[in-house]
Structure 1
Amino acid sequence: MNYPLFETAQAVQGVTAVDLYAEYPDFDIDVDREQARLVAHDVIIFQHPLYWYSAPAIMKEWQDLVLEHGFAYGLHGHSLDGKTFLNAISTGAKPNAYSTDGMNHLDLRSLLAPFEKTADLCGMRYLAPFVMFGAGRAVQDNRLDVHRNAYDDLLKALVADRFDLQKAAKAALLSDVLDDFILKGEAG
């Protein structure tokens, strides 16, 4: 279910959508190119399925290579300071699985803590995740288009600087209450 969301991102003017598997099928990541992309953008979104409470292998490899000491963190690593970061993810399980009483025994934001701590280390602001729960049934349940439209709204609001970043940083999730974060009228 991530490819339709990727297509949505590709269609939004001002968004650079990167398919790491297509660009680096051999996992030979061009670190300089990827660091230049990061520097050129104010908002960084990791869009991916949630695999074993983490990201796909190539995204982890990308993090290990690109977010290096002296660039992303450390005494002289301030290239990402002040940028905004969030996860746009899909899960196989339904929302109730991500609670202290659910099968995962934690809420989703807690499970994504390594991403939040990475953002902190790199001087970035971490926003609550944008999530499509139960992605395998999204088409049958007629939720895919609703989710794509919400993702489109999110991306356009971020590009237009019409998104309440402070409020979104404190939220548990963006998906269910996205309209609460989009600023009406002129850019905020």
Structure 2
Amino acid sequence: MSQIAPEPAASASPRIYLIAAHPHWRESHVNRRLLQAARAVADVDVNDLYASYPDYVIDVEAEQQRLLKADLLVLMHPIQWYSMPPLQKLWLDEVLTYGWAYGTGRYALQGKDFWLAASTGGPESSYHPSGYNRYFFDAFLPPYEQTAALCGMRFLPPLVLHGARSAGPSEIEAHAQVFEHRLRTYPDWPEMDEIAPCPRCVVPQTDRPQADSSTDDGIAANDAPRPLIQEA
């Protein structure tokens, strides 16, 4: 007697972990609306970083578990001093640890996607060699791109709204609708097939400080996780 083959199980919806980092939500014109839009989308795990860790004490294990469950990591924040808010930077320093997210050990985030949704106070014209920010906005993206690459993640084209301080309600609403649509349709974005996979960035053990067995835990004080991008 022939048997009927079971129907294939339905594929699970992609999971998204969105970190919203804004130090002053009351002053936010754009990110507050984006946060509202993100919370309306199913399968998006939203973390209001400043609400979760007002004392800047990050639960590293909990954050790593949320990352493991996600297919897409979204960093959503205003650009502050050409970079990210301080608590977002601390999150990167403490959560994306050597030997877990990058290095010669486990690549826990290998194959996942990384997306930046950012806003700038200045207009797009200010990010120009003739403007007061002196560089095109793309010049400030390499730290994000390399963070993704070091962890084996694919860096997706950022979604940026310039001139957030002067943007009107209709412009903000249109931007929020694009943002929400992207979240709802991930990973079925038209440009996905054109994005190259991340290069493999292996950090040799010789580039890391050696453990000092004389310490109580066998790890020297200078062997603590270091920032992925160090400034001079």
The residue that corresponds to 1:175 in the other structure is none
Equivalent positions of 1:18-167 (< 5 A) are 18-139=47-168, 142-158=170-186, 161-163=187-189, 164-167=191-194
Q: Tell me the amino acid that sits aligned with residue 188 of structure 2.
A: R
Equivalent positions of 1:160-179 (< 5 A) are 161-163=187-189, 164-167=191-194
Q: Secondary structure at the match of 1:92?
A: coil
Q: 1:49, 1:89 within 8 Å by CA — same for their partners in 2?
A: yes
Greater helix share, structure number: 1
Between the aligned partners of 1:169 and 1:54, the Cα distance in structure 2 is 25
Between the aligned partners of 2:148 and 2:106, the Cα distance in structure 1 is 13
Q: Tell me the amino acid that sits aligned with residue 110 of structure 2.
A: D
Q: Tell me the amino acid that sits aligned with residue 152 of structure 1.
A: E
Alpha-carbon offset, residue 168 of structure 1 = 5.7
In the superposition, relative to structure 1, how do residues 12 and 168 fare at CA in structure 2: closer, same or farther (>3 Å)? farther
Larger radius of gyration: 2
Q: Tell me the amino acid that sits aligned with residue 64 of structure 2.
A: Q
Structure 1 unaligned regions, length at least 5: 171-188
Of all paired residues, the percent bearing the same amino acid is 40
In the superposition, relative to structure 1, how do residues 102 and 168 fare at CA in structure 2: closer, same or farther (>3 Å)? farther
Q: 1:49, 1:55 within 8 Å by CA — same for their partners in 2?
A: yes
Q: How many residues align?
A: 167
Between the aligned partners of 1:131 and 1:48, the Cα distance in structure 2 is 10
Q: Once structures 1 and 2 are overlaid, which stretch shifts more, 58-67 or 109-118?
A: 109-118
Q: 1:126, 1:169 within 8 Å by CA — same for their partners in 2?
A: no
Between the aligned partners of 1:17 and 1:45, the Cα distance in structure 2 is 9
Alpha-carbon offset, residue 169 of structure 1 = 6.7
Between the aligned partners of 1:45 and 1:10, the Cα distance in structure 2 is 13
Residue deviations 1:61-106, cap 9 Å, x none?
Answer: 1000000001110111310101110110010011122233332222
Alpha-carbon offset, residue 167 of structure 1 = 3.3
In the superposition, relative to structure 1, how do residues 10 and 169 fare at CA in structure 2: closer, same or farther (>3 Å)? farther
Q: 1:109, 1:128 within 8 Å by CA — same for their partners in 2?
A: no
Q: 1:90, 1:133 within 8 Å by CA — same for their partners in 2?
A: yes
Residue deviations 1:8-49, cap 9 Å, x none?
Answer: 111111111110100000011000000011110011010000
Between the aligned partners of 1:95 and 1:168, the Cα distance in structure 2 is 24
Structure 2 unaligned regions, length at least 5: 1-29, 198-232
